[in-house]
A and B are shown apart, each in its own frame.
Chain A
Amino acid sequence: MTSKRQYPIDQSNQLLSQGQTPSPQPYQQQQPYQQPQQPQQPQQPYQPNPTTYGNDTQQWNQQQQPQQPQQNISPPTNGVQNTIHHGGSKRVYPVDPQNETVLSSNFSNMNLSQPQQQQQQQQQFPQPTHTTVPGPSNTSTYNPYIQQQQPQQPQQPQQPQQPQTWNTSPPQTQQPIQTFTPHISPPQTQQQQTVAPLPMQPSSPTSYNNQPQQTVPFQPMQPTQPIYTQQPYTQQSGQQQQYQQPQQQTPQQQATVEQPVPTLENLCPKPFMRLSMNAIPNHPSILNKVHIPLGLNIHPLANDPQGPVPVVYSSIIRCRRCRTYINPFVTWLNGGGRWRCNMCENINDTPQDYFSPIDFTTGKRADIANRPELQKGCVEFLASSDYLVRPPQPPTYFFIIDVCYESIVSGMLNTAINAIKTTLKDLIEKSNGRARFGIMTFDDSLHFYNLKSNPSNRPQMFVVTDMDQIYVPPFEDFLVNLKDGFDVVENTLNIIQTMPRTQQKVESCLGSALKAAFTICERVGGKLIAMQSYIPRGPLGKLSIRDYQPLLGTKKESTLLQPSNDGEFYKELALSCTSQQLSVDLFLFSNDYTDTASLGTLCQITGGSMYYYPSFIASRDGQVFAANLIHSLTRETAWEAVMRVRSSRGLTINSYHGNYFLKTSDLLGLPTIDSDKTITLQMGISDSIGQKYASLQSALLYTHSCGERRVRVFTISIPVVSNYQDLFRYADISVVTSLISKMAIDKALSSSLSDARDAIANKCVEILQAFKAASASNPQANTAVTLSQNAPKLLLPETLKHLPLYVVSMVKSIIFSSRTTHPDLRAFHMQRMKTLDLNSCLNFFYPYFYSLLAPPNYQPPTTPNTPFVPHSFKLSSDELQRNGLFAIVNGYTLYLFIGEQLPQSVFADIFGIVDVSQLDTNTFQDLPILDNDHSRYARKVIELVRNSYPEYLKMFVVKSTDKQRRPEFQSLLIEDRTPEGCSYYEFIIQLQSRITQN
Chain B
Amino acid sequence: MYELSTPGFDITICFSLLGVGGLIALIVIQLLLLTDLEGNDINSIEFSRRINKLILPEYIIQAVFSVWFLITFRFFLFLLNSPVLVYHYLRYSKGLHKVDPTKVYQMTSKFGNHLMLKLVFYMVMFFVYLFVLLFNLFSE
Contacts and interface: CB of A to CB of B under 8 A. Distances in A.
Contacts of B37: 665
A605 interface: yes
Contacts of A575: 45, 101-102
Contacts of A665: 37-38, 40, 105, 108
A579 B104 contact: no
A604 B37 CA distance: 22
Interface in A647-684: 655, 661-665, 667
A571 interface: yes
B106 interface: yes
Contacts of A932: none
Interface string B14-56: 0000000000000000000000011010011100000000000
Interface in B86-135: 95, 100-102, 104-106, 108
A662 to B, nearest CB: 5
Nearest to B43: A663
Contacts of B106: 655
B45 A579 contact: yes
A862 interface: no
Contact of A565 (B95, B102, B104, B105): B95
A663 B40 CA distance: 9
A799 B13 CA distance: 69
Task: Tell which of A571, A575, A604 has the most Cβ of chain B within 10 Å.
Answer: A575
B122 to A, nearest CB: 28
B102 A571 contact: yes
A665 B37 CA distance: 8
A750 to B, nearest CB: 10
B44 A663 contact: yes
Interface string A783-819: 0000000000000000000000000000000000000
Contacts of A655: 106
B45 A662 contact: no
Nearest to A669: B43
B102 A664 contact: no
A565 B101 CA distance: 15
Contacts of A667: 40
A664 B40 contact: yes
B43 A664 contact: yes
A579 B45 CA distance: 9
Contacts of A579: 45
A601 B105 CA distance: 17
Contacts of B102: 571, 575, 601, 604-605, 661-662
A686 to B, nearest CB: 13
Contacts of B45: 575, 579
Interface of B: 37-38, 40, 43-45, 95, 100-102, 104-106, 108
27 contacts: A565-B95, A571-B100, A571-B102, A575-B45, A575-B101, A575-B102, A579-B45, A601-B102, A604-B102, A605-B102, A655-B106, A661-B102, A662-B44, A662-B102, A662-B104, A662-B105, A663-B43, A663-B44, A664-B40, A664-B43, A664-B44, A665-B37, A665-B38, A665-B40, A665-B105, A665-B108, A667-B40
Interface of A: 565, 571, 575, 579, 601, 604-605, 655, 661-665, 667
Which 3 pairs from chain A and chain B are nearest by CB?
Answer: A664-B40, A665-B105, A662-B105
Given A601-B102, A655-B106, A667-B40, 18 more contacts: A565-B95, A571-B100, A571-B102, A575-B45, A575-B101, A575-B102, A604-B102, A662-B44, A662-B102, A662-B104, A662-B105, A663-B44, A664-B40, A664-B43, A665-B38, A665-B40, A665-B105, A665-B108
